[in-house]
Structure 1
Amino acid sequence: MSKNHLIKNIVIVADLKNIEDKKIILYGIITDIIFSSSLIKKNSDFQNFTQDFFGVQFKGYVYKSRTLLLARCLRLIEKYDLEKVNVLIDKLLLVFNIHPPKNSKNNSKNLDVLLAWKKVINHE
């Protein structure tokens, strides 16, 4: 999927109100990010990705398989409540430079980490 299409989906998910609809579209967005070697080239970069976006670290073998990593990330999203889903969406909005997140509670450290991911995704 192209980066422009990914950005359109992030905008769509940000405007939705129903948590189940948000989760369904987030599944697709996260799938595209994980399977896109143009966005994240090396599997080893996913250790920082999961820590920064989901706040978790998996065992090393999970990062060797994008398919296994995707399954773990989707399982996390499935368990999220509305607040956690919205925080994840805000992080995606910031990284893809769509517009500033609404009512963001991120501190400056989180903002710095997300801006670093923005540089990785935009190949800066």
Structure 2
Amino acid sequence: MTNEKKTEISFLSSSKYTVADKKVMLIGSVTETIYDRIIFRNNDDLKKYTSIFEDYFKSTVHDFNGYKEYLFKSRTLLASRISRMIFEADDSVGVRKLIDSHLAFIKEFDHGKKSEETIKKNLKKESSLLDDFINKDK
């Protein structure tokens, strides 16, 4: 686990910050998690993670029917939709549940054996134009 993630976890777990402060930190952390191509190589892989928020908002927002498929084609759209819904959430107990669910997902990913395999697989798939050019004769 990186130092940034440890700081993030300690901030979200701390009792000395207000719910409003934690909500802002949660929005940033969720956005960063959604954008992370090591955790989620493909956009469709985000569905398991976003189900945390989908389940919560289905029970609290009366006209919410889940995230539409078009949101999974753009991480930016998905992150902004989830961020807006977290920002508009008024229930401090609910925000705490979202924080706990998010932290549980991050910890599960960090400690899971599957996560190490996923990271290695995703890092191997990452290539750059420069790498391809340098290694073309090999």
Give the alignment's TM-score, normalised by structure 2: 0.64
Partner of 1:18: 18
Cα distance in structure 1, aligned partners of 2:44 and 2:114: 15
Asked which structure has the greater CA Rg, the reply is 2
Tell me the number of residue pairs that the alignment of Structure 1 and Structure 2 aligns.
Answer: 106
Instruction: Tell me, yes or no, if structure 1 residue 44 matches structure 2 residue 54.
Output: no
Gapped regions of structure 2 (runs ≥ 5): 59-65, 118-138
Deviations 1:18-74 (A, max 9, x none): 121011111110111011101111100122221134416311110000000001110
Instruction: Tell me, yes or no, if structure 1 residue 5 matches structure 2 residue 15.
Output: no
Cα distance in structure 1, aligned partners of 2:6 and 2:101: 13
Gapped regions of structure 1 (runs ≥ 5): 98-114
Structure 1 runs, 4 residues or longer, greater than 2 Å off:
92-97, 115-124
Give the alignment's TM-score, normalised by structure 1: 0.71
Change (3 A) 1:117 1:53: farther
The letter for the 1-side match of 2:6 is I
Structure number with the bigger relative contact order (C-alpha 8 A, sep ≥ 6) is 2
Cα distance in structure 1, aligned partners of 2:52 and 2:116: 18
Alignment of 1:47-66 (within 5 A): 47-55=47-55, 57-66=66-75
